[in-house]
Amino acid sequence: MKTLIKNGTVITATETRLADVLLDDEKVIQVEANIRPDDGMQIIDATDLLVLPGGVDAHVHFDLAMAGTVSADDHYSGTKAAAFGGTTTVIDFISQDSDDLLENVRSHRQKADPRVTVDYSFHMNITHLSLQVEEKIPALVKEGITSVKVFTAYNNRLRLQDGEILKVLRIARDSGILTMLHAENGDVIDLLVNEAVQAKHTDPIWHAKTRPAWGATEASLRGSALAAIADAPLYIVHMNTAGEVDQLQYARSQGVHVMGETCPQYLFFSEEDLARPDGAKCVCSPPLRTVSDQNRIWRGLREGVLQTIATDHCSFFFDGTTSITYEGQAIAIPGKELGRHDFTKIPNGLPGVGDRLPVLWTKMVGSGEFTPNEFVSLTSTNPARIFGLYPQKGTLKAGSDADVVLWDPRKEVVYGCNHAQHRMDYNLYEGWKLRGMPVQVILRGQTLVKDDQWYGVPGQGRFLACSPHGEVL
């Protein structure tokens, strides 16, 4: 059955206009003013509402094992939370559990496919390089995986050496695969962590003190240099320091094909939050920085130095010894209490996939610092373009997937756990007053959320095969 969304204001990355949107067979088939309804059409009245493309969060972690536990949100609860927040596409990560990359893809899909409620894809972590891995990286493209992630931190676990990263960049380049980089200095971190533990500095604030901003700044420039040597594109994830933004701007000015992502936590929280009695709630990697770093990141977004805002969603209970009720069931998962007396044992990660769009709309568009079009670019269109999903995702035009968010710019809520849908016992934005919220979320023509009611089902989402040679913005 066709669905006609009438009388709304359509917002894309490039346009704001009064128009109707006609959906059929999971696709947008027309975006024009005054489309005449036919008999049998479902009509959605969007008077006084904005009509946005579904959000694209290109950096999430669901059902991730870490620090002797597992993240609180699996592929069902995490994608449900995403939908409630207006995000209809997410990209998760595949751990390199063995050198058989294709088997890793299959095992992760077997776990995710029956659970997801929004459309999704994967990036592939490359954390051990061998001849077998080098040979299999190009084969990822046939599996719909066109991005790989490497690390300059987590020695003896995830880190590759610089020469190995250069090899990955070259192999990826030749296959149209984008390399992503977690930029921190693993050697510096290991030294400082050992010193802190020996000195019995174990409070959460030491998580930030042992991962200094200069290490991230240095590693981001080093990654950019390797990308320049390889003549390959690079996407630096979760940029969190002023120095990183400066180095990104410098590298781009020199013609290096490097792009940057940041996350809401680095825009709104700082090291001071780690010093609170409940500072463990804010432990993530890379860590929170300073207000000065926040200001530079904001300026980088306004100036177009940074291309996307993702979440790095990786949720862990604050107190996993106490259960919460989720969909009528009591659930408790060991979480940050595991590091109550030692910051090195706190699972690193924060919730955020459902919070991203409402919080950013209030703080970006509501403040007048960003236009609605820039908001759509940073949270939907740009990630779709970079990761080979555009124009299937990230816009509203004939032929695009019918992923639509009806947004009420006047709706006000006092936000927090009671509103967010993460499978969690806390919310970073508890008590924040937000203005501008999704009131209906549609995935490929089917309503997932309407007026805070859930209509999605596990397995409703689909795996997305990303195209190689995504855009370098």
CATH number for the domain that contains residue 268: 3.20.20.140
**Distance (Å, rounded) from C-alpha 233 to C-alpha 176?**
9
Domain region containing 201: 55-373
pLDDT in tens, 177-201: 999 999 999 999 999 999 999 999 9
Query: Does 198 reside within a domain?
Result: yes
pLDDT in tens, 299-353: 999 999 999 999 999 999 999 999 999 999 999 999 999 999 999 999 999 999 9
The mean per-residue pLDDT over the stretch 367-391 comes to 98
Query: Does 386 reside within a domain?
Result: no
Nearest to 193 by CA among 155, 157, 234, 237: 155
Query: Does 454 reside within a domain?
Result: no
pLDDT in tens, 213-254: 999 999 999 999 999 999 999 999 999 999 999 999 999 999
Q: Which residues contact 404 (CB under 8 A, 6 or more apart)?
A: 5, 21, 23, 28, 51, 52, 53, 54, 396, 440, 441, 442
Per-residue exposure over 191-205, b if at least 16 CB sit within 10 Å of its own CB, e if not: ebbeebeeeeebbbb
Query: Does 428 reside within a domain?
Result: no
**Distance (Å, rounded) from C-alpha 380 to C-alpha 431?**
26
The mean pLDDT of the chain is: 98
pLDDT grade for 278, boundaries at 50, 70 and 90: very high
In this structure, how many other beta carbons lie within 10 angstroms of the beta carbon of residue 306?
Answer: 24
Query: Does 37 reside within a domain?
Result: no
In this structure, how many other beta carbons lie within 10 angstroms of the beta carbon of residue 463?
Answer: 15
Distance, CA of 89 to chain centre? 10
The answer to whether 346 touches 280, Cβ cutoff 8 Å, is yes
**Which class for 328: exposed (0-12), middle (13-18), buried (19 or more C-beta within 10 A)?**
exposed
Report the number of distinct structural domains present in the chain: 1
Nearest to 256 by CA among 218, 217, 222, 227: 227
Query: Does 148 reside within a domain?
Result: yes
Single-letter code of the amino acid located at 175:
S
Nearest to 348 by CA among 405, 282, 393, 267: 282
Query: Does 319 reside within a domain?
Result: yes
Q: Is the pLDDT assigned to residue 454 strictly greater than 90?
A: yes
Query: Does 280 reside within a domain?
Result: yes
In 196-314, beta strands by DSSP E: 234-236, 258-262, 308-309
